Amino acid sequence: MKIVEVRPYALNVGGRNHCLVKVALDSGAVGWGEAGLSHKERAVGAMVDVLRPLFEGRDPRRRGALWQEAYRAGYFEGDRSLSAALSAVDIALHDALGRELGVPVYELLGGAHRERVPVFPTIGSLDPAEALEGAVRLADDGWSVIRLMCVNPSEDDGVFEPLESVYRTAALVRELRARIDPAVAIGVEFHHRLSVAEAIAFGEAVPRGALAFLEEPIRAESPAAYGALRDRVGIPLAVGEEFISKWQFAQFFDAGVIDYARVDVANAGGFTESMKIAAMAEARYVDVMPHNPLGTIGTAATAHFALAVPNLSWIEYRGLPGDTLFPDDPVALTTTHRLEGQMLAVSDAPGLGVDVAEARLNETLEPQVIPRLVRRDGSYTNW
């Protein structure tokens, strides 16, 4: 059994740019993967081309060894474009091998720990009033976990003032908590837009116990900064969606500053690396809360990963009420997985359970400016 083709597709699917990767075996089996480095799809595709000679002609069953070779080759180990490309290839290898063997990917990962995957919706509105009403509707509809984005009260497009957002978001949490069942879990995503001091201010502005998790409040380069935050904020921290390897996670695990590990299968090295990260988290009694902002292939990969790990909380899921992300193209990509209430039912179809109409894939990227935010004084801040 050999890999005969590794091909990247940098393209627009359903209104959003993606980098998909095709892996073909000499048996005729084909697998697909998705890379998670958004807004840099051409760069990731170029990295797939760089990696191609390491994979073509090789045995797909040696996925772990191939991962190590690709990650370590060329002296300069790991960077974001390499990890995203390697993630997509690794996902595609598992998809192809699952199809070849006639088994779903989760069986290749050790088998399922659960029958269905719990998911949560995200309120995408940055307007406090709209976000409040949307979250109340979700709670009334029976959702037991709801994630809010940090609200942006600025009327200027592309302007973000952290402390204004801190206090408006805290007020939103207080109002929401007063209006919904206390058993409904609420999380807030700040997208690493705060400083340590600003994140502390947020923690002090929300009632103790009001939040189930605070996601990515500060940039994640420094375990020491998260340690300072941990000492002052009594909210479980969800961290790691930017991490690209077990080595990055290890520093934060060792510092004891992660309560939910935001593993991104499409960025953190595919299934091969993500399963190791989940095991590291399990040894520290930390649950995995996978990051899943991508398309059909990324969601299917995340769902199989979620089935195969024992220490899962929930996954974020596109297309639920309140979600503002674009849907995928139902013509080019079709999935056998179905949402049933608050759970994702993952089919036992071979591979990932996603069919790709390759002939209908258009390799044209839509012009998209890399998003960025500024403060009112004109200085740049985190997006």
Show which residues are catalytic.
191, 291
List, in sequence order, every beta strand (DSSP E) within the chain. 3-13, 16-25, 30-35, 117-120, 122-123, 145-149, 185-189, 213-215, 237-239, 260-261, 287-288, 315-316, 333-335, 338-340, 343-345, 354-356, 373-374, 380-381
**Which residue type sits at 43?**
A
Structure tokens at 19: 């980098």
Short-list 336, 280, 300, 253, CA closest to 94? 300
CA distances (Å), 136 to each of 24, 84, 150, in order?
47, 36, 16
CA distances (Å), 306 to each of 20, 24, 113, 129, 287, in order?
21, 25, 9, 33, 11
The dihedrals phi and psi of 21, each to the nearest 5 degrees, come to -130, 130
Structure tokens at 193: 């837009």
Rounded CA-CA distance 383/332 in Å is 31
Rounded CA-CA distance 292/36 in Å is 9
Rounded CA-CA distance 357/276 in Å is 32
End-to-end, the C-alpha distance of the chain in Å comes to 44
Helices 41-55/63-72 angle, 10° precision: 120
Q: For strand 16-25 and strand 3-13, is the pairing parallel, antiparallel, or unpaired?
A: antiparallel
Rounded CA-CA distance 284/246 in Å is 14
Rounded CA-CA distance 64/73 in Å is 14
